[in-house]
Amino acid sequence: MNELLVLRAQAGDREALEALLAQIQTPLHRYLRNVVADAVLAEDVLQDVLFLIYRKLDWLRDPKVFEAWAYRIASREAFRRLRRLRRLNESALEDDVADVEETSDALLDALPAHLEALSPASRAVLTLHYMQSMTLQEVADILGISLGTTKSRLAYGLCCLRRALEIA
C-alpha cells in the first residue's frame, strides 16, 4: 500500500482516503469471502471493516503497516460476526489441532474449492498464507495469535483438505 496515501488520508484528504479504501477493498473482500464462506455475509462484514478503517485510521501510527492493520481489523470483525452467528445457530466451531506438514501442489490447487469445509480459523490462516502470500509470522500478527497456533491451524486445514481430496 502507498504510505503517502495513508498519511494524506490521516491528514484529512478525502480523495486519498477513497483511493486507499479502493485499493484495499478487493483483497479484503476476497479474504473475507474465504473466511466467512458466505458471499452475502462477506459483503456485510466488508462494509463494517471499511467503516472501522475509516474511523480508526488516525490511530494508525506507522503507515507502513496499513495493509496488515486492515487485515487484522477484517479478521477480528469476521470472527466476531461468526461467533455471533454461531451463538444464534448453536453450532460449534471445529477445534484446530495437528502438526504442520508439507503441502503438495494438489492441495494448493484444491484450496479455493474446498475452503468452505474448513473451520473459519483454518480458512483465515490458509487464505492469508497461500492465497495472499504472507509469511506465517505475518499471518500470526494479523490474526493476533501465536506462531504456534498459526502453524496448528495451518496443519489442521491442510489435513482436512487432504481428507477431502481422498474422498473426492
CATH number of 159's domain: 1.10.10.10
Same domain assignment for residues 42 and 109: no
> 124, 143 in Cβ contact below 8 A?
yes
Q: Which domain, by its residues, includes 60?
A: 3-89
Same domain assignment for residues 74 and 116: no
Q: What band does 131 get if pLDDT is binned at 50, 70 and 90? A: confident
**Measured between alpha carbons, how far is 15 from 8 in angstroms, rounded to an integer?**
9
Give me the sign of the Cα torsion angle 109, 115, 120, 124. positive
0.95 surpassed by pTM: no
Same domain assignment for residues 14 and 55: yes
What would the DSSP string read from start to end of the chain? --HHHHHHHHTT-HHHHHHHHHHHHHHHHHHHHHHH--HHHHHHHHHHHHHHHHHHGGG---GGGHHHHHHHHHHHHHHHHHHHHHHHHT-PPPP---------HHHHHHHHHHGGGS-HHHHHHHIIIIIS---HHHHHHHHT--HHHHHHHHHHHHHHHHHHHHH-
Place of cell 496515501: 5
pLDDT mean over 145-156:
89
**pLDDT digits over 37-71, tens only?**
888 899 999 999 999 999 999 999 999 999 999 99
Same domain assignment for residues 41 and 77: yes
Domain count, the chain: 2
Same domain assignment for residues 77 and 22: yes
**Measured between alpha carbons, how far is 107 from 158 in angstroms, rounded to an integer?**
7
Q: Is residue 95 part of a domain?
A: no
| Residue where a domain stops, chosen among 89, 123, 145 | 89
Same domain assignment for residues 31 and 80: yes
- The cell numbers describing 5, all together, are 496515501
| Residue where a domain stops, chosen among 89, 120, 142 | 89
| Residue where a domain stops, chosen among 29, 56, 89 | 89
Same domain assignment for residues 80 and 14: yes
> 98, 159 in Cβ contact below 8 A?
yes
**Least reliable range by pLDDT among 32-36, 85-89, 116-120, 152-156:** 85-89
